[in-house]
Chains A and B, each alone.
Chain A
Amino acid sequence: MENILEIKNLKKYFPIHKGLLLREVGQVKAIDGVSFTVRKGETLGLVGESGCGKSTLGRTLIRLYEPTEGEMKFKNRDWRAESGEKLRIMRRDMQMIFQDPFSSLDPRMTVGQILAEPFEIHGLLSRTERNARVLQLLETVGLKASHVNRYPHEFSGGQKQRICIARALALEPSVIIADEPVSALDVSIQAQILNLMKDLQQKFQLTYIFISHDLSVIEHLCDRIAVMYLGKIVEIAPREELYANPQHPYTQALISAIPRIGEGKKKMKKSLSGEVPSPINPPPGCTFHPRCSQKMDICSQQLPVLKSYDSVKGDHCTSCWLYEK
């Protein structure tokens, strides 16, 4: 399968300014050297706890944030080098759905205006064509044509998220980055949106980058999964492989911490002690070592590389010293 996105050693640091002169006193290393590829038509899941950099990564991929360092190739073109008119045209091909549908829709615009805006910005289609396309989009995401003149507040959370999805689909992108698209929704509504996203992917051959903290949702939707911790990818593997054979101690802890439905009351066992350290001053070596139950001397000294430790399953990469022979 061909790669649609190739990311190499991507970094995004945010400066911290303090004091009267707002001098730069440090940096938040939100993404700290991340490399991966996204294949055409697949769903890549980015999973991790709050502060691991998964949302920053999503926003950097779509160039809402300018990366500090690294290479990004989108459809074999240098995505970082694009600017101005060219960037705008390329952006049609990559769209985003945000977590909170309540704050990502302009309350003063009708649904029709919201969905027509992408065409206005890009100067596409005539007025009548736009209107027809808007109605078609509404239908695609399961809303009614009669909704077109309503305002966002007249919709429920699930319906709002459908509007956001319709907006993302408007310009027929090939890649959609979805940042926790169901986290703000009730369980029964989550299922509706997840099913819709699956249907749309089939219908339009979309490539998804799906960001979530919910491992059950990630398992349901994704083909490959990247686990992030403190700005780095610690493990990346195809779905079955990752859940059947998690290698990194963090992935193992994360999977064992998922509450399972219908297995009865059980004694909770601590999966992991301590908390995620600050990304301003990450621990040396492997950033996970202060919480790791299997840490060795080398872990606090040297950073492990993300690589495959199994020649048969070259698709499964981990960055952990445990597997270094």
Chain B
Amino acid sequence: MNDPVVSVRNLETTFSTRLGPFRAVNDVSYDIYRGETLGIVGESGCGKSVTSFSLMRLIEQPGRISRGQVFINGRDILLLSEHDMEAVRGGEMAIIFQEPMTALNPVLSIGHQINEQIMKHMRLPLNEARERGIEMLSLVGIPSPGDRYDTYPHQLSGGMRQRAMIAMALSCDPKILIADEPTTALDVTIQAQILELIQGLQEKLNMTVQFITHDLGVISEISDRTMVMYGGQTCEIAQTQELFLNPAHPYTEALIGSRPKFGHRSNRLQTIEGSVPAPHELPPGCPFFNRCHRAKDECRVNRPPLTQVKAGHSVACFFPVSH
């Protein structure tokens, strides 16, 4: 395979809280290759969004990236100055957020917000930036983009706002797109439209995508490889099809089993006892220890390292499920 475009090594993002420091992302490493979609899936608080924000260096006080490296095309962006990082953000790498209503500025027109970065990154004059902006709006399937360009976020529907945000993210031809739950706030039929759009644009522009969601169905349909996170750590990473067919981590297996599967109706759903522990209650060993039915004493004290079980399939568990 070719060299990875994104290479994350031992990333650790720490938030200082009243109860002491808490590692939202705890020693996470992964690669994404050119043109590939890596899905990151997990429940609330598993660190999937903080991982994406760390990649864009958007972590604010009281949080900070406390360790690790993030290589983008071989360059460690954690070492860049804030000024240099601004050129990367929105230029080389772009992000789509979950809630377009809060991510867009309500007092500026859509066009103004797209312009801003086109003028900054592509150094185009206003009239050309406007042309480019309208072109982007039409690329993402917004009808009559010329008129929409001057509207404000509240005048658009949820689906259209999400499209506008995608247009904004893609306006400077990023090589890497981070999509943080881009369809969670949308209805299923609109979700299908947006996923189709992202897929189509990815092919057309040969982008590398990191796609974050809690929806196993969406991840299963859109990503080439999938990483499962729990308690700020990577549980498992594999080719998507392999992960869903042969989950090796007990958490992955339980997560898949707890979701009603369309067309395979069963009387009872598999459940995971208890709930995700609060950050300061995470056990010192495996974060899943207190909810795991396979856990032994060893899991309580020692953190299982991410180990390869098959080519391209790694799992962090002392007692992985075998199939």
Interface residues of A (CB under 8 A from B): 49-50, 156-159, 186-192, 194-195, 198, 213, 215-217, 219-220, 243, 253-254, 256-273, 275-276
Contacts and interface: CB of A to CB of B under 8 A. Distances in A.
Nearest to A51: B187
B293 interface: no
B8 to A, nearest CB: 22
Contacts of A256: 192
A157 B255 CA distance: 17
B188 A189 contact: no
B30 interface: no
Interface residues of B, number: 51
A264 B255 contact: no
A269 B196 contact: yes
Given A50-B187, A186-B276, A187-B255, A275 B157 contact: yes
Given A195-B271, A261-B220, A270-B192, A49 B187 contact: yes
B272 interface: yes
B259 A191 contact: yes
A187 B216 contact: yes
B159 interface: yes
A189 B275 contact: yes
28 contacts: A49-B188, A158-B275, A159-B275, A187-B255, A188-B254, A188-B275, A194-B269, A195-B269, A213-B188, A216-B217, A217-B260, A219-B262, A219-B263, A220-B260, A220-B269, A256-B192, A257-B188, A259-B221, A260-B217, A260-B220, A260-B262, A260-B263, A262-B256, A264-B241, A265-B220, A270-B192, A272-B192, A273-B193
Interface in B236-250: 240-241, 244-245
B216 A258 contact: no
Contacts of B66: none
Contacts of A266: 221
Contacts of A187: 43, 214, 216, 255, 258-259
B195 interface: yes
B248 to A, nearest CB: 15
A219 to B, nearest CB: 6
A27 B241 CA distance: 49
B44 interface: yes
A269 B222 CA distance: 12
A243 B216 contact: no
A257 B192 contact: yes
B105 interface: no
Nearest to B240: A265
Contacts of A262: 220, 241, 244-245, 256, 261
A259 B220 contact: yes
A36 B217 CA distance: 32
Contacts of A260: 217, 220-221, 261-263
B191 interface: yes
A152 to B, nearest CB: 15
Given A268-B192, A275-B159, 20 more contacts: A186-B43, A187-B214, A187-B255, A187-B258, A188-B271, A190-B258, A190-B259, A191-B258, A191-B270, A192-B271, A213-B188, A216-B261, A256-B192, A259-B215, A262-B256, A266-B221, A268-B195, A268-B221, A269-B192, A270-B196
Contacts of B265: 219-220
Contact of B217 (A50, A259, A264, A270): A259
A191 B271 contact: yes
A186 B44 contact: yes
Given A220-B265, A268-B222, A272-B192, A261 B272 contact: no
Contacts of A192: 271-272
B250 to A, nearest CB: 12
Nearest to A155: B275
B189 interface: yes
B117 interface: no
Contacts of A257: 188-189, 191-192
A219 B196 CA distance: 25
B101 interface: no
Interface centre among B190, B199, B269 (most CB of A within 10 A): B269
A184 B245 CA distance: 28
A217 B275 CA distance: 20
Contacts of B241: 262, 264-265
B115 interface: no
Contact of A243 (B37, B191, B263): B263
A187 B44 CA distance: 9
Contact of B193 (A157, A215, A270): A270
Nearest to A272: B189
A216 B221 contact: no
Contacts of A217: 260
Contact of A156 (B190, B245, B275): B275
B104 interface: no
Interface centre among A49, A189, A254, A259 (most CB of B within 10 A): A259
Given A188-B272, A191-B269, A198-B268, A268 B196 contact: yes
A268 B68 CA distance: 36
B224 interface: yes
A119 to B, nearest CB: 29
Contact of B261 (A49, A261, A269): A261
Contacts of B245: 262
Contacts of A188: 43, 254-255, 258, 271-272, 275
